[in-house]
Copies of this chain bind each other. A is one copy, B any other.
Amino acid sequence: MVRRTREDAQVTREAILDAAQRVFLARGVSRTSLEQIAREAGVTRGAIYWHFKDKSDLFSAMLERVRLPLSDLADAYRQGGGRRDPLGMLEKLCGLALTKLDASETYRKVYIILMTRCEFAGEMNPAFERQLEIDRDNLRKVEQDFVEARELGQLAPHVDPRIATLTLYSLMHGIYQSWLRTPQSYDIRTDGAAMLRLFFTGLRATGH
């Protein structure tokens, strides 16, 4: 049972991260002690302090496991060849993000923790700074897409790309937050897609 080869250590590390996810979700980040995480993972605090510097470091590591995929996906989508359809691309991308939230339990859990189970102040700050940076980066890219949409004549004349960007960002943020807080209140795949269609339909040049 106590063999501790290199691979075993990685298993332990993952077990700690999984346990942290469960306990953070159930009790909130600040109220969970490393002792509770250790017990949930079937190890002692010694193991946690071996793999991570402290709770903040453990928290950051937990985020890293799920943070990368979506941004990469977005970039890949943008570079997808063929005729340009930035509006359609954005709508599809946002829909995909919502679907992902419903499909992947790990992804969903981490985002519940990020948005409703921790505080944006104090020790965890480095993790949040990182998140804000990613958000700013995405905002720039989305605004560029809207500018391109306007040049292609996809947008109704009254639509300002910057405002459209802020609105879409806020809408997505709000959907995440409200649905994660009360997932039973509606179906995020169908209703989420409907909300996006409603928004993008309002932006398009052709009335229908």
Q: Given the interface contacts A158-B208, A171-B171, A173-B177, does A31 sit within 8 Å of B166 by beta carbon?
A: no
Closest to A29 in B: B119
Is A194 positioned at the interface, with any CB of B under 8 Å from its CB?
yes
Closest to A24 in B: B121
Q: Given the interface contacts A158-B208, A201-B202, does A122 sit within 8 Å of B191 by beta carbon?
A: no
Q: Verify B160–A170 contact, CB threshold 8 A.
A: no
Q: Given the interface contacts A166-B186, A170-B171, does A27 sit within 8 Å of B122 by beta carbon?
A: yes
Q: Mark A137-166, 1 if CB is under 8 A from B, else 0.
A: 000000000000000000010111001101
Q: Verify B182–A28 contact, CB threshold 8 A.
A: no
Number of copies: 2
Is A118 positioned at the interface, with any CB of B under 8 Å from its CB?
yes
Pick the contact of A117 from B120, B175, B194, B208 — CB < 8 Å? Answer: B120
Pick the contact of A163 from B156, B174, B191 — CB < 8 Å? Answer: B191
When distances are taken between beta carbons in the complex, the residues of chain B under 8 Å from A191 are 163, 166
> From residue A62, how far is it (CB to closest CB) to chain B in Å?
16
What are 10 A-B contacts with C-beta separation under 8 Å? Answer: A28-B120, A28-B121, A31-B121, A117-B119, A156-B207, A158-B198, A159-B198, A166-B186, A167-B199, A207-B207
